[in-house]
């Protein structure tokens, strides 16, 4: 393949053979060094709010339809970071580190929107599930959700991924909730060693105030001929044929918002005009042993140097420690305590909103839902109170 660095051709070929006997758990694949990233998947929750001003904007919008439009605009603005930031910064999609149970990623954004805080926790290891909560106290906006992946590989080495889980946005001022479903994706370019994400079909946002947004990624940009194209419509639930607003463009580029009837452009978004706010993360010395960058620092360093022996030795050390903990828990007949989240049979907010999307989304089949537990968060073991 074109993008496989010289010297890695052999390992890439054997890697490609390995993924043809794929088990469904992406983290089980041992990929060659040039495709590995020293960043853990638990950090990916931060992609939801790197534009804090867009994240809090709905709280300032009095009109319910325009508020729902502000939520849709914020959601679309996150897609570029969620699904293509590794390409931009690292040259291709990379394989993130597989978080261990209890692994934490804490940070905050400090900018014109005030303080927006992030807590991300690996709440399950088999299968891998990351739960997160992002909130801005001044504006009374809180996002909480969780996600996992179900993957399969085609003969042509395209990795198909169904995302399990959802996100729920709550706006205090209007006591309003938004259910955000997660798009399916597939990874192309694996054969050539330059993988990248493509988003599939559609995803939805359903508000408790009676508005539905549908984002259609399958448009291959047949009009514009550009990749990563999308078309989104916002409508009164049940009245898809009568959109109040439509947004279209590229989720990796710019997009414009039109009024449903008149079709005249009322807003346009250019990512170049919306610099990201950098997430503030404690230094490794200050971090708790359960925090991602401290826990993986030796592995991340070895990966950055392409030192595979140290990478696998340090990874095995972490994996062995984890296995020993699980054995101990089994012997003591107890389960690992999550720091910030609780597994529940159901979530009343989800139960109120999901049926409004009805059969247009397959409800994500997980055993229970993961909920932010404010009580736990107050007295969670590691001294995060003063820092998160
Ligand atoms: C697994 C075989 C392999 O290493 O092939 C190399 C390729 C990098 C493909 C596999 C990895 O691709 C990565 C892309 C990751 C998703 C990117 C964005 C998100 C959005 C975020 O909100 C939730 C997580 C999610 C879905 C990531 C999940 C893990 C993905 C698919 C990585 C694959 C292991």
Strand-strand pairing, 36-40 and 202-207: unpaired
Instruction: Report how far residue 91's alpha carbon sits from residue 163's, in angstroms, rounded to the nearest whole number.
Output: 24
Sole residue written with tokens 């549908």: 214
**Tens of pLDDT, residues 260-319:** 988 899 999 999 999 999 999 999 999 999 999 999 999 999 999 999 999 999 999 999
- Please report how the helices 297-304 and 308-331 are oriented relative to each other, as an axis angle in degrees rounded to 10: 160
Tell me the pLDDT of the chain averaged across its residues.
Answer: 91
- How many angstroms is it from 265 CA to the middle of ligand 1? 35
ipTM of this complex: 0.96
CB-based pocket (< 6 A), ligand 1: 19, 26, 29, 31, 35, 41, 44, 47, 82-83, 93-96, 147, 149, 159, 161, 163, 187, 190, 195, 197
- How many angstroms is it from 337 CA to the middle of ligand 1? 27
- How many angstroms is it from 197 CA to the middle of ligand 1? 8
Average pLDDT of the residues in 89-115: 96
Measured CA distances, 109 to 130, 228, 291, 328, 355 (Å): 20, 28, 18, 38, 34
In this model, does residue 388 exceed pLDDT 50? no
**Tens of pLDDT, residues 344-371:** 998 999 999 999 998 655 555 557 899 9
**Two tokens, residue 321:** 């420690």
Give the per-residue pLDDT at 358. Answer: 80
298, 292 contact by CB (below 8 A) = no
Residue nearest to atom 16 of ligand 1 (CA): 83
- How many angstroms is it from 236 CA to the middle of ligand 1? 34
**Full-model pTM:** 0.94
Tell me the pLDDT band of 385, cut-offs 50, 70 and 90.
very low
Q: Determine the residue of 23, 78, 82, 165 to mutate for testing ligand 1's pocket, defined as the one with the most ligand atoms within 8 A of the Cβ atom.
A: 82
- How many angstroms is it from 112 CA to the middle of ligand 1? 32
134, 55 contact by CB (below 8 A) = yes
Burial label for 349, CB within 10 Å (0-12, 13-18, 19+), is: middle
**Tens of pLDDT, residues 185-206:** 999 888 888 999 999 999 999 9
- How many angstroms is it from 96 CA to the middle of ligand 1? 7
- How many angstroms is it from 81 CA to the middle of ligand 1? 13
Q: Determine the residue of 3, 8, 27, 41 to mutate for testing ligand 1's pocket, defined as the one with the most ligand atoms within 8 A of the Cβ atom.
A: 41
Tell me the pLDDT band of 33, cut-offs 50, 70 and 90.
confident
To the nearest 10°, the Cα dihedral for 70, 73, 75, 76?
170
Instruction: Report how far residue 77's alpha carbon sits from residue 268's, in angstroms, rounded to the nearest whole number.
Output: 11
Residue nearest to atom 33 of ligand 1 (CA): 95
């Amino acid at each position: 393949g074109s993008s496989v660095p010289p010297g890695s051709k052999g390992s890439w070929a054997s890697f490609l053979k390995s993924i043809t006997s794929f088990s469904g758990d992406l983290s089980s694949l041992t990929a060659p060094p040039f495709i590995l990233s020293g960043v853990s998947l638990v950090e990916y929750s931060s992609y939801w709010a790197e534009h804090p001003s867009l994240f809090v904007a709905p709280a300032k919008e009095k009109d319910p339809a325009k508020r729902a439009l502000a939520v849709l605009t914020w959601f679309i603005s996150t897609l570029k970071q969620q699904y293509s930031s590794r390409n931009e910064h690292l040259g291709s999609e990379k394989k993130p580190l597989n978080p261990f149970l209890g692994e934490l990623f804490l940070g905050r954004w400090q900018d014109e929107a005030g303080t927006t805080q992030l807590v991300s926790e690996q709440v399950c290891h088999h299968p891998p599930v990351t739960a997160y909560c992002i909130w801005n106290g001044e504006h009374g906006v809180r996002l909480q959700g969780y996600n996992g992946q179900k993957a399969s590989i085609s003969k042509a080495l395209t990795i198909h991924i169904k995302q399990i889980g959802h996100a729920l946005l709550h706006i205090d001022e209007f006591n309003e909730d938004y259910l955000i479903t997660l798009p399916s994706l597939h990874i192309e370019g694996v054969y050539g060693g330059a993988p990248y994400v493509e988003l599939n079909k559609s995803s939805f946002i359903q508000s408790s105030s009676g508005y539905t947004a549908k984002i259609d990624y399958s448009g291959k940009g047949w009009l514009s001929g550009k990749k990563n194209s999308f078309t989104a419509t916002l409508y009164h639930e049940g009245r898809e044929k009568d959109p109040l607003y439509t947004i279209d463009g590229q989720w990796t580029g710019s997009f414009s918002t039109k009024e449903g009837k008149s079709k005249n452009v009322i807003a346009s978004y250019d990512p170049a005009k919306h610099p990201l706010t950098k997430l503030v993360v404690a230094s490794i010395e200050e971090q708790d042993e359960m925090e991602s960058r401290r826990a993986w620092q030796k592995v991340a360093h070895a990966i950055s140097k392409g030192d595979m022996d140290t990478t696998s030795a340090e990874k095995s050390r972490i994996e062995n420690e984890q296995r020993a903990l699980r054995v101990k828990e089994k012997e003591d007949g107890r389960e690992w305590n999550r720091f910030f989240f609780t597994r529940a049979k159901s979530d009343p907010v989800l139960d109120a909103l999901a049926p409004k999307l009805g059969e247009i989304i397959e409800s994500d089949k997980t055993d229970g839902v993961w909920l932010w537990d404010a009580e736990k968060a107050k007295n969670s073991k590691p001294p995060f109170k003063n820092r998160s």
